[in-house]
Amino acid sequence: MDLNPLFQSNLDRHEATCQLLARRSLLCVSARRLMIGHLHLLLEGVLSSLDGATTEAAGLHHLQQRVPDLVLVSESLEGSTGMAFIRTLKHRHPDLPCLLLLEHETPDVLQEALACGSDGICLERLVGRGHIITALKAILDGGIYMEAPLLTLMRQGTSSSVAEDRAPLTPRERDVLCKLVKGCSNAEIAVQLFVSVETVRTHMKAIRRKLGARDRSHAALIAVTTGLVRWQKGTGQNHETH
């Protein structure tokens, strides 16, 4: 069996990860000490700083000392959950990109993961296949990301009920929502749609109200998981709404 393609694939992923995270700061919060140690070995000399924590309290303490460019969180923490940590983190730093790694694929766990406000959700078992690179690119660019199997699971449980309950979006609100899922800022959306930033803000308020979303990220996740925006599998991009 020729293992060279496998070795080359792993090397390519490592190089892509290093290029993406070069000179950025990262906080990893996980009960898996081996994961934190592996990140130190993998990214030593690449990141500007890497902090690790195994508890919610320790993770929040690190955030008080220094706000990183990116936060990577596992589902399980010592004495708590990653979702609880992200909920507090997003309350204090709503724009801080945060990627959650899930161990379990159940509707209840996924619902909690969505509700906590994470910008990206990956399955821990798929991390080694290079999916995390796509996820990190998406959230660092201001977009959102969800693993394809999780999208399928979420749509099975929420698609019909949300469609029945929500007020319909106007065509312009759909355009704004598409741009939002791509990670565009209000200013970028305004330029692309040839409207004022204040008009975009007005559309955003209407979108959040109609979707029952807490904030921009939550609105984007609702759009993707309910099929309002067709997600292009594996790329972190989207097609037109329907």
Q: Where are the domains of the chain?
A: 4-140, 159-241
Q: Which residues pair with 51 in a beta bridge?
A: 27
Cα–Cα dist 211/162, whole Å: 8
What is residue 17's predicted lDDT score, i.e. its pLDDT?
Answer: 83
Domain 159-241 CATH class label: mainly alpha
Mean pLDDT for the stretch of residues 208-228: 81
CATH number for the region 4-140 comes to 3.40.50.2300
Interval 36-77: pLDDT, tens:
998 888 888 899 999 999 999 999 999 999 999 999 999 999
Mean pLDDT for the stretch of residues 165-191: 87
Cα 130 to Cα 11, 87, 210: the distances in Å are: 11, 27, 35
**Is residue 157's pLDDT more than 80?**
no
Longest dimension (CA), the chain: 60
What is residue 174's predicted lDDT score, i.e. its pLDDT?
Answer: 93
Tokens of 236: 């972190």
Q: Which residues pair with 76 in a beta bridge?
A: 81
What is residue 2's predicted lDDT score, i.e. its pLDDT?
Answer: 36
More confident residue, 214 or 40: 40
HSE value, Cβ hemisphere, 13 Å, CA-based, for 66 = 12
